[in-house]
Structures are given as C-alpha cells and as structure tokens.
Amino acid sequence: MRNRAKFIHRNLLSILIIVATVLIGTSFSPAVSAGNLATDSLRSDLVRVFMFQDYNTRVVVTGTTLLGLAAGLIGTFLVLRKRALLSDTLSHATLPGIALAFILMTLVSGDGKQLLPLIIGAAIFSVLGTLSVLAIQRFSRLKDDAALGIVLSVYFGLGVALMGMATRMDAGNAAGLSSFIYGKTASMLFSDALLIAGTALVAAIACILFFKEFSMVCFDADYGMTQGWPVARLDFLMMALVILVTVIGLQAVGLILVVALLIIPAASARFWTFRLRNMLWLSGAFGALSGFVGSGVSALMANLPAGAVIVLTASLFFIFSMVFGSARGLLHIGMDRLRLGRKIMDENLLRDLFEWSETNPNEGTPGIEISALKHRRSWTQSALKKTIRRLHRQKTINVYSENRVNLSKSGRLAAFEVVRRHRLWETYLITHADVAPGIVDLSADRIEHVLEPELIRQLEEKLEAETKEKLLSSPHTISFTGADGHRTPKMTR
Amino acid sequence: MAHTRKTAGSKKNYTQAQAPLCVKDLTVAYHRKPVLWDIDLTLPEGQLIAVVGPNGAGKSTFIKSVLGLVPRASGAISIYGKSYESQRHLVGYVPQRESVDWDFPVNALDVVAMGLYRQIGWFRPVNKNHRKKALDSLEKVGMANYAYRQISQLSGGQQQRVFLARALAQDARLYFMDEPFAGVDAATERAIISLLKELKSVGKTCVVVHHDLQTVPTYFDHVVLLNMRLVDAGPVETVFNEENLKKTYGGRLTLLTHALNEYAKTPQFPSNTD
Amino acid sequence: MEWTFIDTWIVLVGALSAAACALLGNYLVLRRMSMMGDAISHAVLPGLAIAFLITGSRDSLPMLVGAIIVGVVTTFMIQGIDRLSGLDRGASMGVVFTTLFAIGLILIRQAADHVDLDPSCVLYGAIELTPLDTVELFGQEIPQAAITSGLMLMVNLAFVIVFFKELKITSFDPALATTMGFNANVLHYILMTLVAATTIAAFESVGSILVIAMLIVPGAAAHLMTDRLGWMLIISVVFSVLSAFLGHLSAITIPTWFGFQDTSTAGMMALIAGLLFVVVFLFSPRYGVFSRMVNQFLLGLRIVGDDILGFLYRYHELAPANAAPVPVPEIQNALQTDIPVKVMIWNLRRTGLILRQNGGYTLTPSGKKAGKGLIRSHRLWESYLCNVMGYCNTDVHRHAHQFEHFTDTKLQEELSQVTGNPDYDPHNRKIPM
C-alpha cells in the first residue's frame, strides 16, 4: 500500500507532464497545419473529434484506443519474456494466411473479403510461424535471431506470392487486402471496433487472472517448473494472446505497425516503475493513449495515415519516458550519477580536512590553505571550489580569510563518520582480501549493511589498535556500532 | 584399489523408501555430449550435502535433471520414496543467480512471494498473509530491510539471499541449491551457512552445489564427488580425501571420457545379455 | 510458358541482388544479428522518402545517401537504446525500426503528390518491370537495375574479400578481435552501412521482402552445410542465385497449374529460398535433421552387426569345436531385436563375415577376426573399469559393452597399456590377442 502511494506520489508530476504535453500537442499540431484557420473552427474540430460527436470518428477512436490498451497489456509480458521480435515474425507470418483465406473464400463463395475467415487464416499461419521458429531452434544449430529472420522472410515471401495470385484473380476484388499490411484505420467499422473491444476485454481479463503466473514464467520459468506450474502451457497462452492481438490489430494498423503497439508502450512503461503491476497498467495506458491521440490527430488532419500516427505517438511517449522516466529515465539516472559524484567529492574533501586536522591538532589554527588542499588529491580547481562552496552552504566547513578552510563542529562529526567507514573498509580489504576479493558493495553507506556486526567489531578493534591515539582522542564520542545503525530501512537510492 | 560405492549415510542405513533423494542409473546428455553418466546415488536425510566437482562436471545438470528441468536420457529419481512429480511440494530450489534477469521489474518481496505461488494456487493474488510469510523468510536471511527494494539495486550477495528466502518460503523438506556461494560477499556467505545449519537443525536436507573445496569439511556433513560420473559419495570424513579428489579433478580420465563421448552418440538399442 | 530475354534479365537482376545480400547475410547470421537486416530494411523507408521529398525524383544517388544515413542512424539508435535503457536488444530493435517505418509511411504519404511512389513498391519491388528501364552500355541495352545491383555485388564482394580475416575474427570473437587491434565497432558500422546500401540498391528492383529473405536465409542454410567460412560464403551465393532462378521460374509457372495467372517474382524467390533452406535443414550431410536420423539408424545397425559377431565369437569360444551353427532365432533372442538382426545377418553374409551352414550361421575366418577384436575391446574395457577405475562391483559388463563399438586398435593399445597388458579380464575370461 505504502509503496503504491509512493509510486503515485513519485510519478504524479510526470503523469501531469504527460497529460499536459498530450493536450498541448494535440491542440497545437492541427493549429500549425491549419495555419490561418479560425480558432473557433479549430476548437469545434477538436471538440468534434475528442468528444466523439462524429459517429465515424467515435468508432475509430474507440477502436484504436482499445487496441492500444490490449496491445500494451499483453506487450508487457512479451517484452519481459524477451520475445519482442517474435511478435514481428508472427505478424509477418500472417500474410499467407490472409491471402490463402481470401483465395479460398473467393473460390468458394465469390466474396473473399470476409473478416472472420481472413482472421482465422492469419491466426493459423502465425501459429505455424511460431512453431517453425521453435523447430528451427530445436533441431538446428541456428540461433534465435536466424530462426526469427528465416520464418519472417519466407512466410512473408509466401504471403506476397499468394497475394500476387489473389490480385491477379479474375473473380473477387483483392484491392483491400493490402490494408492488412499497412492498416486502414480510418475505414474501421463498428463490427471491427466491437471485435477489438472483445479482444481488449480478453487480454485484460487474462492479464489480471494470470498476473502471478505470467510474471513468474517471465522472471524464472525454471523455478516455475519445479513448483509444478505448467510453464509450457502458460507460455503458449501468452503467445496465443499476442497472436490474438496481432491478428485483430492487423487491419487497424497493419502488420508491421501492430508490432510497434506491442513493443513500444511496454518498453516506455519500464522507464517509470520497478513494479510489474504498475508497469502493466502504465503500458496499457500508454497504448490506449497512443491509440486515442493518434487516431484523433489523423482524424483531424487529412493525409496522415492513422496507423503511422498512432505508432509515432507511442514513440513520442517512449522518447519522453526514456528521458524523464522516474525509475530508469536517463535524466533520473544522470541525476543519480551526478549526486553520487558530488557525494564522493564531498567525502573526499571531508576526509582530507579530517586527516589534516589529525596531524594539526591545535584548535587555534584557522584551517588549511585551499592551495595546500589541492595538492593532497588530484583536484581540479573548479571541482574543489564547487565542493567547498557546497560544503560551506551545508555549514559543514568554515571558510576563513586568506583562503583557509576548516571543518565546522557538525562537519567534524560527519567527517568522522566518513573517515571511520573508509578506514574500516581499508582494514577489511587488507585483512580479508582472500575472502571477498572485490565483490563487496563499497558504495554502501553503512558498512553494517554489508558486513555483519561481529566482523565489524573485530575490524574496529584492529583499527583502534593501529590508530589508537587519533581515533580515541576524537572530540566526539560516537558509538562505533551505531545504536540504530542497520535498523534504518533504506528505501530510496 | 577397488572400493565400494556407498549409498547410505553415516549414522543410519537408509532404505530407499525413506531417503530424501534416490537416483538410479541417471544419464543425461546435452546435444549428444554426455554430461552425466550412470549415476547411482542415495542421499541421507537431515544433512548438509555438498556436490563437488570441476567445471563442466555436470553438478548443476545433476540438480536440474533431478528437478526435471533437463531431460534425462535414462534413469529414475525418487524423492522420499515416491516420484518427484508427486513430491514437488517437499522440494525447494535455489537456481544459479545468473539464471534470471535481475533488471526484472519486481522487488525482493515479490520474488520471495513466488515461493508461495503454488500454495496460493491459480488466479488468486498474493494477499497480506502471503506477504507476511515472505517477509518472515526475508528476515531469516537478514534481508527484511530490503523487502521493497527493486532487485537490480541489490548487491550480488543480497540477490542470492533473496533467492534463498524464496526457497525458504516454500517450506520444503529437501532443498537443492545451485552454487549459492558463487560470487557472494563474506556476510552473505556467513548468512547462508548459518541458514543451512538452522535448516539442518530442524531436520531439513540441503543439497548444495559447491565450488570451494577448502570449505567443504567445515560446512558440510556429506559430500557427492561428481565428474560426469559419480566418483564417490558419503560422509565427508570418509569420502573427502585426496585420492578421491584426484579422481574427481584430474588424471586417468581421458580414456573413459573419450569412450563416454563416443557412447553418447549411440541410439538406444537393446543390449544383449551375457 | 514462354521464356524470353525479359525473363533472363529478371533472373539476372534477381540473382545479382540476391547474391549481394547473401554475402553480407553470412555475417549477420554468424554475428547473431539476423534481425538487424529486417530492422534496417524497414527503417530505410524514411531515408528514401526524405530523399524523394528533397530531390523530387527517384534518382539512385540521393536515395543511396539517404539510406546509408538512416542505416547508420538506425544502428546507432538501436545500440544507444540497448545500452541506455536496459531493454533487451530485441525490444530496442522493435522500438526503433517500427518508429522509423511509421515516419517513413507518413513521409511517403506526403511525398505521394510529387512522386509516383507507394509503400507496396518498397515491399514487393517491381522486378518484373526492371528490364524495361534500360540504359545503353557498351552498345548494349542493359537494365538500370542490373547495373545497380551488379555494382552493389562488386562492392560487397570486395568488402568480404578485403576484410575476410578481420570479419572472420570480429564475427567469431569481438572481444578477442579488439585486444588484437581490430576495431570490431568500425567493421560493425561498415557492415551495417553496406546492409543499408544493399537494401536500397535492391529495393527498387526486388523489394525489401526479398532483401530480408536473401540477407538471412542463404547464409543460414550455408551455415548448416559447412563449418568453413570461405565455403559458407560460396554456398550462400549459390543458394541465392538458385533461389532467384527457381523463384522466377515458379512465379511464372506454378500459379498457372492451379488456373491462376503468374504471381510476384520477389515473393516467389523468397519462398524458394525458404524451401531450399528446408531441404538443407532436413538433408544437410552433417547438420540435417534427416541425415542425423539416418546416421543414427546406420550406427544402430552397425552396433547390431557388431553384437552378432561378438555373440557368435563367444559362442564359438564356449562351445566345442564341432558345435552346430547358431540358428537365427537364437541370435535374435540373444540380442533381443528381430528385424535389425535379420538385416545385419544379410549384410554380414554379403560382406563375407559369416557363413550359412545347416540352417544356422558361423563366423568365417575374417568374421572371427572381427569378433575377436570386439571381444578384446570388451574385456580390456572391463579390466580398465575394474582394475583402474575401481568399478568392479557395478555393472562393468554393460559399460564395456557400450564402449566396445567405439574402440579402435589404437584405443585398444592404450587400454592394454594402462591395464598392464592383462591376459584375463576381471571375470577370468581370456582376453584374445
């Protein structure tokens, strides 16, 4: 519970930014192209599209939104199972199914363009494609990538050949078939939207029902097997859902771009959270939002293929997430790194000052000259200056005239902690080098988190024996073991 | 020169019906390279058992084949006298740390809760009770403070402890651990050892793939020496000696290895009886 | 079917494009980057569209430049996302190429007013029309596409020949290559650039679908045929040329069998490549599924033959000198198989190792020699397993029986030496010399 609240809290700003960006983006992009159109008509256009006043738009926007939701949900597991490109292969593999179903239906009934047979044909061939990938992986020495590529290109080639035959058939009109490759969002019918709604419902229910099972298969399938879960069947169920979303999404956005809807929202969601449940919903939301905004924008502007706009919207979310994501976004990681760098510099300066004061114990001196400090370590001028300024602001050091600095009272306390930890680590590495060569987590704030108390006590004894005078004569009495020391949970990085 | 292969522990002579693990004629081949060949083994109950051998000796494969994760070319496994499939609930598994993606979006508590999934059953979500149980398991490995940390932010040793906690949550009688000491810090090593001792004290059996020969006598009671075939198995004090180690780790194996490699290519035809 | 000079040109253009792709494809397969071919060939779409939009024409040069830029950008983007985001490579690829493809679709729609271009022609190409667009060269009317793809083939050929050694080592072990001073990254980018350029050079004539197929399938098939890189390159080129020829042939013939007109040559070429792959997958001498099964079966039969010889030898060893020949049912009973025994008895008789006498079989002198060798191996193994390895109480016979079939005279010598040239095995039976 606490965690969820924390998540929402941490992401609130980001969510607001997303919503704002979307709103601004959608209201400005038509404005730019519309140029001198009166704002009134623009507003009425916006209202018309996004308030679903137009029946056609209502169908298309609802359909694509739900498709995005379904793809986002199931795509989460696809990406986490590291099978993103399998979706590419099986969506390409649908083409011969579509063409064959068209030819057969044309020969049988004269009308090839019946949705259900086409979808069934597509599904059959994507299952066949998946099985072919498995067969190549299992029975030859080719790796996954080659298996995926072979099946993708050969099935697609077969599809193209069959399409070629279909389009040159005397009977039937194959003109609309290419919509399965590129999508024909704008001409979505109510029945199509209904089908998508059904798919989205199935995907959502499956993701809720099998949340626990799917996440286990994605994380550690072997372990699931030892527990007796039917991992292979769960795996198949996941892939079946992917296939379902793919074949349903084919004619909405086309067989190449439906892959994007499966992969991109899930990939975007990863930047925002460390929890699978949140990632699932976020991914669904990203997908739905992409569908909503994308189809809306393309309804407002002629000459923009809706499928491509939907994918582009999803990609914009991706870029945004990659930069601003609150969990793994580049900015976030960069800030972390910056903070860590600063912390290291702060600690280095504190240590330098502490060590200097150990050798110059008279209280009266106004501190060490900055230029002398610079030679103790390979400081650059600017880094040293910045660090001094920072620490001065925190009141951990006093800056005197003649460019002299010294630790303040509180700074002395902090520096003592830093020096103690550093020396404990040094002693540990010297005495226990054989036990844990370089594996220990040196950046841990408290040595207690990594080493057990008894070992620390031993190290302290050793350390005290060596540097008896200095640490014992420390002006502050600090309990070495720290009363609350390793009890404090460390929640944030 | 000749010696017998012991199939029993030091204190009692366990019959196969009681033994936590009884392996008969186990042979495993990966892509026709034999990894394990004709293993016959019975392990005693309530002991800490090390599986030792050089790299590529099939230690992990041994555990995986017992757990049905790797297909067996031949052989039968019984857990407490019954088939593994019917005794799954008695068996806990700690896989190698490298076997999963630690960037996966779950926290330590989620991973540990996976140990309870079978108990929770189909469709039902993890509830407060389960989370409490998982937290208890984390407490036992000294990781309660890290329950809500994302697993990628844990150090290698901490990740290993999370895996141990997951197996603990299963509340099994027989634990298989695949290299739990590999690449962990000293604190984790100690935590694992005290955990193993605690498990032993409540009568659990732990089969641990181990790579550090020095610590075998201090950590374990029983040892299984493995190098494609079973070199020897028995109590540490009787079996863990220089001669057996030499047999396990080197020398005089070339002919046999050569023959095994060839043999793995054969189809299974009925053999004649002499 | 009428084969005209047009068909010859179509096949030639197809073969040149396919061979150009196949050469590079080998390295994609070996570097486990096959899907990069797929990704790049989708991703070059915006490069094309931008080139169109800027120049307003379908000139080759701007397209080539656009494609190369986009190809390199794609590679950079995929690697960047891969490294920065913690997503796996597949997902990074999926994000990048679908995004670029979407951008390409939008741009093409914008360009459609100016240039005659639709996405289908990128996918399927129009190889059937290439012979119509000719230029004059050396007094000959040569299709433009043949020249483009021919040049591309030359460039790729030069690349794989000049950098043969470097490509080999960077494909096999990039880390080692880097320590040896070969820059794996530079080669990687050159390779990706060439893939993009080849895609473009081929796009006009054969379409991206054939490019993907030819980048991956011939290389993969060749990988199943040989372990030598040089041969792999040659085989893949042969496969690609074969697919081009058979592909066009079947495009204009096969549909007519079912009462259709002809169909897309590019699609058919990809399909034929796939069928060739299936054939290799099943029947490749070393790695084919079927070949392995046959080899297994033959090996099994050979073992049964060995067992018959061993059984007869033991029989003669124990039985009095004038004992009756062994009837077939008895051998079958001893070996516990029926049909294989019959087959191998026929075969052993044919090769003169056994002899039919009074409704039974005995060993000929050469058969006796063969049987003796087997029994010697068997008993040496028993001695080895018992005396050297210390497995006396276990079923040494069974293991010795498994190993005897793979023991040549050299191994016999080694065994004999290690066991101290024993005369008797652990069961106290004589080890024949």
Question: Mean pLDDT, to the nearest integer, of C267-281?
Answer: 92
Q: Is B44 inside a domain boundary?
A: yes
Instruction: Give residue A268's pLDDT.
Output: 95
Instruction: Answer whether residue B31 shows pLDDT above 70.
Output: no
pLDDT tens per residue, range B80-97: 988 888 888 899 999 998
Q: Do A226 and B110 touch (CB under 8 A)?
A: no
Q: Do C411 and B5 touch (CB under 8 A)?
A: no
Instruction: Answer whether residue B271 shows pLDDT above 60.
Output: no
Cα nearest neighbour of C333 on chain B: B272
Q: Where are the domains of chain C?
A: 5-284, 292-363, 372-418
Nearest to A154 among C85, C86, C270 (CB): C270
Give how many domains chain B has, as a whole number.
1
Tell whether the torsion through CA atoms of C119, C122, C128 and C130 is positive or negative: positive
Q: How many CB atoms lie within 10 A of CB A412?
A: 19
Q: Is B1 inside a domain boundary?
A: no
Q: Where does C372-418 sit in CATH, by number? A: 1.10.60.10
- The interface pTM score, or ipTM, of the predicted complex is 0.85
What kind and span of H or E run contains B37?
A: strand B33-43
Q: Do B265 and C299 touch (CB under 8 A)?
A: yes
In whole angstroms, give the CA distance from residue B186 to residue A364. 44
> Chain A closest CA to C33's CA: distance in Å?
6
Instruction: Answer whether residue A482 shows pLDDT above 60.
Output: no
Residue A19 — very low, low, confident or very high, per pLDDT cuts 50/70/90? low
Q: At what angle do helices A144-167 and C229-257 cross, to 10 degrees?
A: 20
**How much of chain C, in percent, has pLDDT values that exceed 90?**
18
What are the residue ranges of CATH 1.10.3470.10 in chain A?
A: 57-328
Q: Do A149 and C120 touch (CB under 8 A)?
A: no
Interface test with C, best of B7, B39, B272, B273 (most C CBs within 10 A): B272
Radius of gyration of chain B (CA): 19
What is the CA B99 to chain-centroid distance, rounded?
14
Instruction: Answer whether residue A31 shows pLDDT above 50.
Output: no
Radius of gyration of chain C (CA): 32
| Least confident segment among A111-120, B56-65, C23-32 | A111-120
Residues 6+ apart with CB under 8 A from A368: A353, A356, A360, A404, A405, A406
Domain covering C5-284: architecture: Orthogonal Bundle (1.10)
Residue A440 — very low, low, confident or very high, per pLDDT cuts 50/70/90? very low
Question: Mean pLDDT, to the nearest integer, of A206-231?
Answer: 92
**C120 chain-A contacts, CB cut-off 8 A:** 178, 181
Instruction: Answer whether residue C143 shows pLDDT above 80.
Output: yes
Which fold is adopted by the domain C292-363? Arc Repressor Mutant, subunit A (1.10.10)
CATH number of the domain where residue B235 is located: 3.40.50.300
Q: Do A84 and C99 touch (CB under 8 A)?
A: no
Residue C102 contacts A, CB cutoff 8 Å: yes
- Arithmetic mean of pLDDT over chain A: 78
Instruction: Answer whether residue A123 shows pLDDT above 80.
Output: yes
Instruction: Give residue A353's pLDDT.
Output: 83
Residue C244 contacts A, CB cutoff 8 Å: no
What are the residue ranges of CATH 1.10.10 in chain A?
A: 339-407
| Least confident segment among A128-142, A214-228, C126-140 | C126-140
Instruction: For chain C, list the contacting chains (3+ Cβ pairs, <8 Å).
Output: A, B
- Can you give chain A as a three-state secondary structure string? CHHHHHHHHHHHHHHHHHHHHHHHHHHHHHHHHHCCCCHHHHHHHHHHHHCCCCHHHHHHHHHHHHHHHHHHHHHHHHHHCCCHHHHHHHHHCHHHHHHHHHHHHHHHHCCCCCHHHHHHHHHHHHHHHHHHHHHHHHHCCCCHHHHHHHHHHHHHHHHHHHHHHHHCCCCCCHHHHHHHHHCCHHHCCHHHHHHHHHHHHHHHHHHHHCHHHHHHHHHHHHHHHHCCCCHHHHHHHHHHHHHHHHHHHHHHHCCCHHHHHHHHHHHHHCCCCCCHHHHHHHHHHHHHHHHHHHHHHHHHCCCCCHHHHHHHHHHHHHHHHHHHCCCCCHHHHHHHHHHHHHHHHHHHHHHHHHHHHHHCCCCCCCCEEHHHHHHHCCCCHHHHHHHHHHHHHCCCEEEECCCEEEECHHHHHHHHHHHHHHHHHHHHHHHCCCCCCCCCCCCCCCHHHCCCHHHHHHHHHHHHHHCHHHHHCCCCCCCCCCCCHHHCCCCCC
Q: Is B15 inside a domain boundary?
A: no
In whole angstroms, give the CA distance from residue C135 to residue C142. 5
**A304 chain-C contacts, CB cut-off 8 A:** 106, 109
Instruction: Answer whether residue B16 shows pLDDT above 70.
Output: no
Q: Where does A57-328 sit in CATH, by number? A: 1.10.3470.10
Residue A207 — very low, low, confident or very high, per pLDDT cuts 50/70/90? very high
Instruction: Give residue C110's pLDDT.
Output: 77
Residue C120 contacts A, CB cutoff 8 Å: yes
Question: Mean pLDDT, to the nearest integer, of A449-464?
Answer: 66
pLDDT tens per residue, range C339-370: 888 888 888 888 888 888 888 888 888 888 88
Instruction: Answer whether residue B29 shows pLDDT above 60.
Output: yes
Residues 6+ apart with CB under 8 A from A283: A72, A73, A75, A76, A265, A266, A268, A269
pLDDT tens per residue, range C51-100: 878 877 766 678 778 878 888 888 889 888 888 877 888 899 999 999 99
Instruction: Give residue B2's pLDDT.
Output: 39
- CB < 8 Å from A in window 162-221 of C: 207, 209-210, 212-213, 215-217, 219-220
Domain covering A339-407: architecture: Orthogonal Bundle (1.10)
Residue A190 — very low, low, confident or very high, per pLDDT cuts 50/70/90? confident
Instruction: Give residue A413's pLDDT.
Output: 82
Residue A244 — very low, low, confident or very high, per pLDDT cuts 50/70/90? very high
Cα nearest neighbour of A138 on chain C: C289
- From the list A202, A121, A106, A190, the residue with the least C-alpha distance to A155 is A121
- CB < 8 Å from B in window 183-212 of A: 209-212
Interface test with C, best of A64, A76, A145 (most C CBs within 10 A): A145
In whole angstroms, give the CA distance from residue A381 to residue A370. 10
What domain range includes position B56?
Answer: 21-263
